[in-house]
Structure 1
């Protein structure tokens, strides 16, 4: 049985994706028109199939190979090979090592106080804008998330973290610009040269931290570099691992928090319920302790519902290594299977009124009635995000600090339009006005 989908186009599908406003919205349209399994064209994928039904996704959950051509743009960031597409046999032990650190409570607790200080610094700065110019949520919160991951990955051993943040932004801007074929008005040698200089600075910075760990004999398993050193990893591989961790975590947390505040600003009743929970749990404290997060159950539901409506990563992809039966269709070996995360999260069969913001969807009772893969903001299977637990801790902490102090309202006349730019980004930012709130 042939897989449904649009007619082949001479441009390989580029025009259809562009006309839809990006791959994330194109996949929404494809599934609305053709159903839960769709074949479509995409440059870099000779046979591409998108699957938006969580039950059918179960048949793909074992896939551990990423399509190399779709991740080629990241290759220049690494000297030991593109870690995003490493072979499954090599990836499995590397993943176990990362999970032992990134998913562990000791690691989260160790860095929690510093994360809190960074979030509080941003809140203090925003306090000066109360009643004045709107704050730039997306810009400020992604900068905060990068500072957090620099603190986490480099252990606070960098003399000027601001320089590291600026260097990473320069590198990311260059490589994303290539991916999305964006025009740069600067001469090519200027922006390419600056990106290479910034990449060199990042590598040298990480190398110094790695060398300090090796000479000092540190073996703390809650420390990312320490755990990699103890595991006997090559210094260059350690550096590349730190770089990919920074890449993966850079935008994710800040973007998730930005969209959550955007939604709360448009649903003041939900925002008031969150504020009430914060007052009950935290009392007079301006920020939560690590153990307080478990008691902020409604805040967690709000964050999850925000990531359902605006998943930071709007899709993922795997490659079949052998033929696969999927919902009555035969998928050949070498096919690219797309996980259209946004379309999965908007599937009305599992999410009634999918466009409505309803945090109560994530009560334990409601969640128990859905297929496991109906909600996949961090992907699925053996290539899902190793830092999911850390990202949730960071996002809940930042939301708690900000919502304890402020009310957020949409900036008048400002339109927020989601676009796909490695993450689900807002085309013209997310600007909101902030005002102080009184506990209780």
Structure 2
């Protein structure tokens, strides 16, 4: 096995943090009188602000926020360069650290190069075929139980309802136990941690979002620490037990702190991004009920041919798959991905110096008309095999790409397909009020969610 490579082997000891002068040759924003005010305006409407920046400056531009100066890159070529990272120019750890270091330190996304490869390979045991079959059974029962409790034919605020359900599902598939009395505290801890990731005050001062986020992390760390000894050396089909007993290439178990850090990050990713993705799909389906009918026809066909949905027949849900992909094109669960540049590089005619904070912007990459004609239109047929043929492989990147591609991507696909199979077979989704645009209806950062909770009715057919 290759020994883990220390950051110092890749990160120059004198890595600078370029300011405006070092980036002045690039198109982009001029210095603001109040970077904080500029940041708050961006967070209020990141999609609209990003659209204006691209229209004004192009696909590579200089930007400023309360953290300093950086560069945004838009488009499939930029996505491939940064996310595939063939030449190891970009650090994910140094990109995410300013946002997540106090909240999700040492999560898989905050590792680079050989260390990342070793941890990812160790954790991947939890997402192999046999464990996934077990998760399917747990999710199937949990979804049915959760949907049975939802009111039918009356107003339902979808976002908080699906958030509670995905937390319950994460409990069974990730931890192997139903949530106990700590359920509300655990949910609050994760909400506080995610909210703190875009907090303007970056220190855990009393009464701040960051303080609540740091306290949430402390609570969850203590929770996992108490549970680890109960899982070591014991069989279990949940992800937590799999991780507790996973061995690296030297047949060594992960350390306790490694397990805590990975579980905190995996639970956040599974809970909040899945909640966001399912809510985005429901919003799209409520606006375009004809696609509910097409999914329902697909469900009926699976029932007729197989009797029930199974792990093996998930691949038959091609229409649901297209709807899922199109919803995540419009509303990617991670709207942008930061990196830090370790060595000077060029893109197009632009020279970017070492140390620069760069970010790829999925919101805008997913809206470039040369790849996505009439980009604001909801059209799942964009993802038919015929229409996908020849499209740049990095034109659609809601799960990232390269070595840091989302480890739980297939778990997310499975959970989404199972949910809509159960929901739409005997029900339809009806919006309680007229729906607008992505820009008007969603808060995009840190993870997209409907501004009003997405009120709908679940009506029996």
* Alignment TM-score, normalising by the size of structure 2: 0.83
Q: Deviations over 1:288-312 (max 9, x none)?
A: 2111211111111111111111111
Matching residue within 25, 49, 52 for 2:71: 49
Which residue matches 2:420?
399
Could you tell me how far apart the structure 2 residues matched to 1:307 and 1:237 are?
31
Q: CA deviation at 1:268?
A: 1.6
Q: Deviations over 1:34-92 (max 9, x none)?
A: 2211111123343x1112111233222305512647534533446x7565433433222
Q: Deviations over 1:120-154 (max 9, x none)?
A: 1122112xx2222x112111112222222232322
Q: Secondary structure of the residue that 1:246 maps to in structure 2?
A: helix
Which residue matches 1:174?
192
Matched, 1:334 2:360: no
Query: Is the 2:199–2:210 contact (alpha carbons within 8 Å) kept by the matching residues of 1?
Result: no
Which residue matches 1:432?
456
* Alignment TM-score, normalising by the size of structure 1: 0.86
Structure 1's 268 and 91: CA in aligned 2 closer, same or farther, altered over 3 A?
A: same
Which residue matches 1:86?
111
Matched, 1:417 2:441: yes
Which residue matches 1:261?
282
Mark the runs of 5 or more structure 2 residues left unpaired by the alignment. 1-23
Could you tell me how far apart the structure 1 residues matched to 2:409 and 2:41 are?
30
Structure 1's 395 and 304: CA in aligned 2 closer, same or farther, altered over 3 A?
A: same
Which residue matches 1:2?
25
Mark the runs of 5 or more structure 1 residues left unpaired by the alignment. none
Query: Is the 1:116–1:287 contact (alpha carbons within 8 Å) kept by the matching residues of 2?
Result: no
The number of equivalent residue pairs is: 425
Matching residue within 129, 143, 162 for 1:119: 143
Query: Which residues of 2 match residues 310-389 of structure 1 at below 5 A?
Result: 310-389=331-410
Could you tell me how far apart the structure 1 residues matched to 2:113 and 2:122 are?
14
Which residue matches 1:39?
62
C-alpha RMSD of the superposition: 3.1
Which residue matches 1:227?
246
Query: Is the 1:419–1:425 contact (alpha carbons within 8 Å) kept by the matching residues of 2?
Result: yes
Could you tell me how far apart the structure 2 residues matched to 1:434 and 1:10 are?
49
Give the stretch that moved more between structures: 5-14 or 282-291.
282-291
Structure 1's 31 and 287: CA in aligned 2 closer, same or farther, altered over 3 A?
A: farther
Query: Is the 1:287–1:401 contact (alpha carbons within 8 Å) kept by the matching residues of 2?
Result: no
